[in-house]
Structure 1
Amino acid sequence: MANRFVTLKDILAARERLQGISRRTTLEPAEFFSQMTGSTVFLKLENLQKTGSFKLRGAYNKIASLGKDAGKGVVAASAGNHAQGVALASSQASIPATIVMPEGAPITKVERTRSYGANVVLAGQGYDDAFRRAREIQRETGAVFVHAFDDPLVIAGQGTIGLELLEDLPEVEAVLVPIGGGGLISGIACAIKEQRPQVQMIGVEASGAPCMLEACRIGKAHELASAQTIADGIAVRRVGDLTFEMVQHYVDQIVTVDDEEIAWAILMLLESAKLVVEGAGAVGIAALLHKKCDLYGKKVAVILSGGNIDVNVISIIIERGLVKAGRYLRLRTIVTDKPGSLQKLLSALATGGANVISITHDRIKPNVPLKQAEVEISLETRNAGHVEEIVRSLEQMGYVLGILK
Structure 2
Amino acid sequence: MPVLPTAADVADAARLIAGVARRTPLLTSHELDAVTGGRVFLKAEPFQRTGSFKFRGAYNRLARIPEDRKAVGVVAMSSGNHAQGVATAAQLLGIRATILMPKDSPALKRERTAAAGAEVVLFDRAKDDREAMARDIAASRGAIVVPPYDDFHIMAGQGTVGREIMEDLGAASLSPDTVLVCCSGGGLLAGIALAVSEKAPQAKIYSVEPEGFDDHARSFSGGERVANERRTGSLCDGLLAAMPGELTFAVNKPLVAGGLVVSEDEVRSAVAFAFRELKLVIEPSGAVPLAALLAGRIDVKGQVVAAVVSGGNVDPALFAELIA
User: Structure 2 length normalisation: TM-score?
Assistant: 0.94
Greater Cα offset, 148-157 or 196-205 = 196-205
**Pair 1:316 & 2:315 matched:** no
AA partner of residue 195 (structure 1): K
Distance 1:109 1:166, change over 3 A: same
Count, aligned residues: 318
Q: 1:103-136, CA deviations, whole angstroms, 9 ceiling, x for partnerless residues?
A: 1110000000011100000111269743432222
How far off is 1:46 after superposition?
A: 0.4
Show CA shifts across 1:180-207 (max 9, x none).
1100010001011012101111110111
Kindly provide the CA deviation profile for residues 161-184 of structure 1, in whole angstroms up to 9, marking residues without a partner as x: 111111111222211110111000
User: 2 CA distance for matches of 1:48 and 1:127?
Assistant: 34
Query: What corresponds to 2:16 in structure 1?
Result: 17
Matched residue type, 1:193: S
Q: Deviations over 1:65-105 (max 9, x none)?
A: 11133331000000000000000001111010000000111
Alignment correspondent of 1:362: none
State whether structure 2 residue 229 is matched by structure 1 residue 225. Answer: yes
The unaligned stretches of length 5 or more in structure 2 are none
Instruction: Give the letter for the 2:9 counterpart.
Output: D
Please state how far the C-alpha of 1:279 moved relative to its aligned partner.
0.6
Q: Hey, what does 2:161 align to over in structure 1?
A: 161
Which residue identity does 2:184 align to in structure 1?
A: G
Q: Determine if the alignment matches structure 1 residue 203 to structure 2 residue 202.
A: no
Match of 2:140 in 1: 140
Q: Is 1:280 matched up with 2:285?
A: yes
Shift of residue 30, structure 1, vs aligned partner = 1.6
Corresponding residue for residue 304 of structure 2: 299
Kept after mapping to 2: 8 A contact 1:149/1:243: yes
SS in 2 for 1:169: helix
With over 3 angstroms needed to count, the CA separation of the structure-2 counterparts of 1:128 and 1:225, relative to structure 1, is farther
**Is the 2:184–2:209 Cα contact (8 Å) retained in structure 1?**
yes
Unmatched runs of 5 consecutive residues or more in structure 1: 320-405
Which letter maps to 1:63? L
Deviates most, 119-128 or 34-43: 119-128
In 1, are the aligned partners of 2:29 and 2:277 still within 8 Å (CA)?
Answer: no
Alpha-carbon distance in 2 for matches of 1:88, 1:13? 21
Separation in 1, partners of 2:182, 2:29: 18
* Secondary structure class of the residue paired with 1:272: helix
Superposition map of 1:120-131 within 5 A? 120-125=120-125, 129-131=129-131
Quote the residue 2:248 is aligned against.
243
Question: Which residue matches 2:48?
Answer: 49
8 Å Cα contact 1:206-1:257 kept in structure 2? yes
CA RMSD of aligned residues (A): 1.6
Deviation at 1:318, TM superposition (A): 2.9
Q: Alignment partner for residue 190 of structure 1, among 191, 194, 217?
A: 194
Greater mean alpha carbon deviation, residues 244-253 or residues 309-318: 309-318
The answer to whether the 8 Å contact 1:174/1:300 transfers is yes
Range 41-50 or range 216-225, more displaced:
216-225
Alignment of 1:254-273 (within 5 A): 254-273=259-278
Deviation per residue, 1:298-319 (Å, 9 max, x gap): 0111100000000121133335
- Helix, strand or coil at the partner of 2:5: coil
2:206 and 2:226 map into 1 onto residues whose CA distance is: 20
State the distance in 1 between where 2:127 and 2:215 align.
Answer: 13
